[in-house]
Amino acid sequence: MALVTDISPEIRAEAAAWLARLRADDKCADDETAFRAWLARDTRHAIAFERVTEIWEAAGAAWDEPIALPRRTHRRAVLAGVGSLAAAGVLVAVWQQAAASTYETGIGEQKHAVLPDGTQVFLDADTKIRAHFDSTTRTVALERGRCNFHLQENDKRPFVVDAAADRVTARHCTFDIRRDGNEVCVVLTQGAAEVSANGAGQNYALRAGDRFIAGEHGSRTDRPNLAPLLAWQTGQVVFDNEAISDAIREMNRYSVVKLAVTDATVARLRISGVYRVGDNVAFAHSIASLLPVILEVEKDQVRLEPYPAPANRT
C-alpha cells in the first residue's frame, strides 16, 4: 500500500475536490458513482480521501451522510459497459465543477471548509469567496468578509487571494484576510507571503506577525498586537477605545437583531473591552451600564439613544 507521503499534491487536490462535491447540496447518485470509479482507479485515491476527511473533521466539520469507502473494487467492474474515454470525461466534468466553487456564510454564521487543494479555510460571518483551481494556479477571490487560510505543504502552485485591488501571493503559510468594500487587511501568523497593493505594482513582503492595511488613504504595513485581530476565531471581539459607531458595525455582522445609533454624540462615544458576538441585546445593555445612553428595544433592532438631560427646575 502506498504511504501518505507518496501521494502527490494533484491526488490530494482531487480528493479534496471530491470531499467538497460529496457535501454539496446538489449532490446526486451520479456523483457517488463517479466518486467510486475514481477510488477504484488507484489505491492512493482512497488513502488521500481518508486523509482530507481527517483534516476536515479535525477542523470541526461533520458528515451529514457518511460515504462508505469500498474495500475492494475492480476497475473492470467499475467501467463495465462504459468506454474508458467516456468514463474519464465524466470524472473530468465533476472535477472541474468541484474545482470552481463558491463558499459563503450568512449573518452570524461561521464555517470551516477544505478547498480543492487541501487548504483549510475558516470563514467568518457574512463572508463570500470564490475559488478556482487548475493544474497551474490556485486563485481565491474574496468578495466580502473575512477568512483564515491555512495552506498545505508540498504544492508547487502559488496560492493567490484577490481582494478589491490587492493581491496576496503565498505558498505554505497561515494568514487572515478581511475585506470591507475597498478596504483590505491581511494578518500573517505563520510563514511568508507577498502582497501587491492597489494593482500599482507596489509590493510588500510579509513575515509572521506583520499586518498589511490598504484603503482610500493608501497602503502600509505594521506589527500590531495580534490578539484583538484574531479574536473573531473564538467568537469574540476586542474593542480598544473604539467609537460606538464602529463597534456597532462589527457586532451587527453576527446578529439578526441590529444595533442602531442616530445621535452623532452617541456615535462618537468610545468603549473598550472583550465581548462575545451574537447577542446584540446583551451587548447593548452592557454599553448602557457604562455610558450615558438608554436603549429603545424593538423586535429586530436596538437603538442607542442619548440619556435625557435632567429637567430644569424653576
Task: Pick the more confident residue, 17 or 180.
Answer: 180
pLDDT per position as a tens digit, 65-120: 444 444 433 333 333 333 333 333 333 333 344 445 899 999 999 999 988 888 99
Helices (H), the chain: 9-22, 29-41, 43-58, 75-78, 84-99, 226-230, 244-251, 264-268, 280-290
Q: What pLDDT does 88 receive?
A: 36
Would you state the pLDDT for residue 313? Answer: 55
* % of the chain beyond a pLDDT of 90: 51
Q: Which CATH class is domain 235-306?
A: alpha beta
Q: What was the pLDDT predicted at 42?
A: 78
CA atoms in the 13 A half-sphere facing the CB of 302: 22
Pairing of strands 138-150, 120-123: antiparallel
Q: How many whole angstroms separate alpha carbon 167 and alpha carbon 162?
A: 5
Domain limits of the chain? 235-306
Confidence of residue 143 (pLDDT cuts 50, 70, 90): very high
Q: What is the pTM of this model?
A: 0.66
At residue 37, the pLDDT reads 79
Is the pLDDT confidence value at 190 over 80?
yes
Average pLDDT of span 134-152: 92
pLDDT per residue as tens digits for the range 233-255: 999 999 999 999 999 999 999 99
- Give the DSSP H or E segment for 114: strand 111-114
Write down the pLDDT at residue 272.
93
Residue 300 pLDDT > 60, yes or no?
yes
Give the pLDDT confidence score for residue 56 in this predicted structure: 63
**pLDDT, average across residues 180-188:** 94
User: Above pLDDT 70, what percent of the chain?
Assistant: 78
Q: In which residue are the cell numbers 505594521 written? A: 222
- Please, which residues have CB within 8 angstroms of residue 26's CB and are 6 or more apart in sequence? none
Looking only at the bridges linking them, the beta strands covering 100-104 and 128-133 are antiparallel
The mean pLDDT value of the chain amounts to: 80
Residue 199 has what pLDDT?
Answer: 61
